[in-house]
Amino acid sequence: MRSKKMTGGLEKAPHRSLLQAMGLTRREVDRPLIGVCNAFNEVIPGHVHLRQLTQAVKDGVRSAGGTPMEFPAIGVCDGLAMNHEGMKFSLPSREIIADSIEIMATAHPFDALVCVASCDKIIPGMLMAMLRLNIPALLVSGGPMLAGRFQKKGADLITVFEAVGRVKAGTLDQDGLAEMEACACPTCGSCAGMFTANTMNCLAEGMGLALPGNGTIPAVLAARTRLAKTAGEQVMELLQKDLKPRDIVTGKSARNAVALDMALGGSTNTVLHLPAVFREAGLTVDLALFDEISKKTPNLCKLSPSGHHHIEDLDAAGGIQAVLSELVRGGFADGGALTATGKTVAENLADLKVRVLDADVIRPLDKPYSAEGGIAILFGNIAPQGCVVKQAAVAPEMMQRTGTARPFDSEEEAVAAILGGKITKNDVVVIRYEGPRGGPGMREMLTPTSAIAGMGLGSDVALITDGRFSGGTRGAAIGHVSPEAASGGPIGLVRDGDKIRIDIPGRSLELLVDAAELDKRRAAWKPKTRPITSPFLRRYAERVSSAAQGAVLEG
């Protein structure tokens, strides 16, 4: 056992003494030691209940003959960090989480690992660590929040974000907003739509590093606790079989995860996270692969923000396994990929007798919401290295549009213009210097997109940025423009009044300015720099890669 580096032999008597100082018996010390990383905190709604689930994991480990050893992980709530300097720290926290788990599981050589969390960026950071360490490991999600109700309609966090724009537009008053605030997020759990947290929890199940049910069982159900307990037992089975994450995560798993992402209409943040996760397994998942799979994988689900369904509806319809069953049946996913159950995707589907229980929530292959996947990759003279849009959430009239550029050099400037009524129909809001290096930290910008939607401009105004968006964003919001402005990207050359042509079906994003004029602008232009007061963000900006490569740290 790996833990014998710490507990075995004469010279490890001091180590055993320290372990016994915590109340462990010698028998417990001699058993397999299982690290249980608990991202509980009292800041994130998706994490506030994780003590109970972590205890269930530990109960499962003990019942199967192991000794659980709990340790923490940090977590940023993207909703609470939104639209202020705190959001600069969200994406960088992914690397800190992965590094800290590696530190804990190497300094104290656990035999296996279970990671418990709910939210973005914690889930991808944990997956990165699991693959980097390559010891038997499982991910356990805290589960999704139930949807709220407001004025007899479904509501969630995005409803509240968009309500800010409604108040500015005069279609909702302050009393209505206060009522909405109190009911839109009714339980603990990761926010109720197919936003980034839930997308990543679903994809963890799809790539085989989490058990069936991980992505969709609501946080408040007893089934979620049973799943956590089963995970504790199952990690002991993985240890016995010496089945490691890199045995499970192969090229098949990577393609399955991207196909599932497209079928679900997942968050555009997956285009940052999946490359970073699979990179730890030595696999290349780039924009070309996303585009290839998107063009041939049907979009079978439209959950909030793309539609009116929520994760609880997907769970009731059969969950991720039901979506996988459709994809395998159509040849869009590989049923031979191995999973953390120790069985293949196809074997899991057979054992669970999986079937789709609601054909409106999970459309059949012959009646998809669209023939292409939920995410599209665009290229053009603004984004030579590519950019990303959640096409499943774009109004039909915005799929092809030529509009007038309204460039801003920060999120704050853009939000002030939008809420100030300075953005009108057929404008294309361009927000730059918000990329991984220029932000720094590549802030998630749900506030401007929600303001556009809330003010009734979602079918008339596009937004383009070298930053990124929340998984809750809807509309013609095109992000991850690469290279970013701070790295000399041509998005920095856009001027007020320029025309920009968006062609999502044609996978094109073009600044309608001739090459000679762009060369002239480039010769007279120097990318802007911002003073960075945080030592951590300064180091991050120096080392972070392009969004087109997953915004990973180099070197």
Active-site amino acid positions: 470
Task: Tell me the three state secondary structure of residue 207.
Answer: helix
| CB contact set of 122 (below 8 Å; sequence gap of 6+) | 39, 47, 73, 74, 75, 93, 94, 97
Helix 196-207 to helix 319-329 angle (10° resolution) is 60
- Rounded to whole angstroms, the Cα distance separating 162 from 166 reads 7
Buried b (16+ CB within 10 A) or exposed e, 388-406: bbbbbbbeeebbebebebb
Check residue 469 and report its DSSP letter.
-
- Rounded to whole angstroms, the Cα distance separating 61 from 239 reads 11
Buried b (16+ CB within 10 A) or exposed e, 119-157: bbbbbbbbbbbbbbbebbbbbbbbbbbbbbebeeebbbb
Q: How far, in whole angstroms, is CA 518 from its chain's centroid?
A: 35
**Residue 424 falls in which region: left (phi positive, over 0), alpha (psi -120 to 50) or beta:** beta
Check residue 144 and report its DSSP letter.
B
**Residue 334 falls in which region: left (phi positive, over 0), alpha (psi -120 to 50) or beta:** beta
Q: How far, in whole angstroms, is CA 482 from its chain's centroid?
A: 19
Q: Which helix (H) or strand (E) holds 33?
A: strand 33-38
- Rounded to whole angstroms, the Cα distance separating 137 from 424 reads 51
Cα separation values, 413 from 11, 92, 106, 454, Å: 62, 23, 45, 18
Check residue 500 and report its DSSP letter.
E
Structure tokens belonging to residue 390: 């959640």
- Rounded to whole angstroms, the Cα distance separating 412 from 238 reads 48
Which residue type occupies 537?
Answer: L
Given a contact cutoff of 8 angstroms between Cβ atoms, the answer to whether 368 and 332 are in contact is: no
Cα separation values, 395 from 390, 392, 427, 457, 467, Å: 11, 8, 15, 11, 21
> Rounded to the nearest 5 degrees, what angle is found at the Cα of 276, between the Cα atoms of 230 and 378?
120
In 3D space, the residue among 243, 213, 245 whose CA is nearest the CA of residue 316 turns out to be 213
* Beta-ladder partners of 309: 303
Given a contact cutoff of 8 angstroms between Cβ atoms, the answer to whether 267 and 194 are in contact is: yes
- Rounded to whole angstroms, the Cα distance separating 158 from 166 reads 12
